[in-house]
């Protein structure tokens, strides 16, 4: 058992934002558990960061599989007794309509699959790990959301024109969870916030996105390492608050 390590878990960590978040937290001295659903890709990603001299480990974790969530939580409890940082990064975007707005056509299958990963899995793993986060002296929970989930921005005249409904709605739900969980944990040392990475060059963001993953993870890493006077129950891009 390692009682002194500062530990972090990043979900969806084998590529893109998750990989870079793992890298930057490990560079700050955290032992990072890289939660990945694909074992081969996850082990390869962890090996890549270890070659850079960084303290990371692969952890088998598909957030849509309750048995893997239970196993991961049991492993962290046995190995470390606590968890200092949880970055809920795992997410998908699979809206099956190429138009700008899929609200009229999105299928129940796509809605359920999107919410299973982006929302239900996020809530379940957070709840399962919360007893371990409560044992940390400075527990931090970061939910990677998106400006696409902002109801205020979508509802403004001239706001966002691209509206993939399943993805957007799932991120709106994530933001609601952030607000509610932060309120539930008020009075504790735990801070819970949502992060908007920006439009980033990842498999999801595509090659035309203006931001690199190095820049895209800055918000999540900042929120994961907030000091005791930092905010909670808020939505940020970099250090600027985003409207819900």
Q: Return the closest-CA partner of residue 92 out of 134, 68, 62, 71.
A: 62
75 catalytically annotated: no
Q: Indicate the pairing of strand 191-195 with strand 235-237.
A: parallel
Residue of 80, 115, 165, 167 marked catalytic: 167
Cα(219)–Cα(203) distance, rounded to whole angstroms?
A: 19
Report CA-CA distances (Å) from 218 to 58, 140, 176, 238.
22, 15, 22, 6
Start-to-end Cα distance in the chain = 41
Cα(74)–Cα(56) distance, rounded to whole angstroms?
A: 18
In the numeric block, the tokens 């796509």 are attached to 110
**Catalytic residue list:** 167
């Amino acid at each position: 058992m390692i009682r002194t390590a500062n530990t972090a878990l990043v979900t969806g960590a084998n590529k893109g934002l998750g990989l870079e978040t793992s890298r930057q937290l490990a560079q700050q001295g955290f032992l990072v558990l890289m939660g990945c659903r694909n074992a081969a890709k996850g082990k390869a990603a962890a090996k890549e960061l270890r070659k850079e001299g960084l303290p990371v480990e692969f952890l088998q974790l598909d957030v849509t599989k309750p048995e893997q969530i239970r196993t991961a939580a049991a492993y962290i409890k046995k190995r470390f007794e606590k968890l200092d940082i949880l970055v809920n990064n795992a997410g998908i975007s699979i809206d099956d309509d190429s138009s700008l707005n899929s609200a009229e056509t999105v299928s129940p299958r796509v809605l359920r699959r999107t919410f299973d990963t982006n929302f239900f899995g996020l809530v379940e793993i957070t709840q399962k790990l919360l007893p371990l986060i409560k044992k940390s002296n400075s527990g931090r929970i970061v939910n990677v959301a998106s400006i696409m989930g902002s109801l205020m921005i979508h509802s403004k005249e001239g706001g966002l024109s691209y509206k993939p409904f399943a993805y957007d709605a799932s991120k709106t739900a994530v933001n609601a969870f952030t607000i509610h969980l932060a309120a539930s944990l008020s009075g504790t040392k735990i801070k819970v916030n949502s992060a908007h990475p920006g439009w980033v060059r990842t498999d999801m963001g595509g090659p035309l996105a203006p931001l690199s993953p190095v820049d895209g993870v800055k918000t999540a890493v900042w929120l994961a390492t907030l000091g005791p006077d930092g905010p909670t129950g808020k939505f940020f891009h970099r250090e600027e608050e985003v409207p819900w």
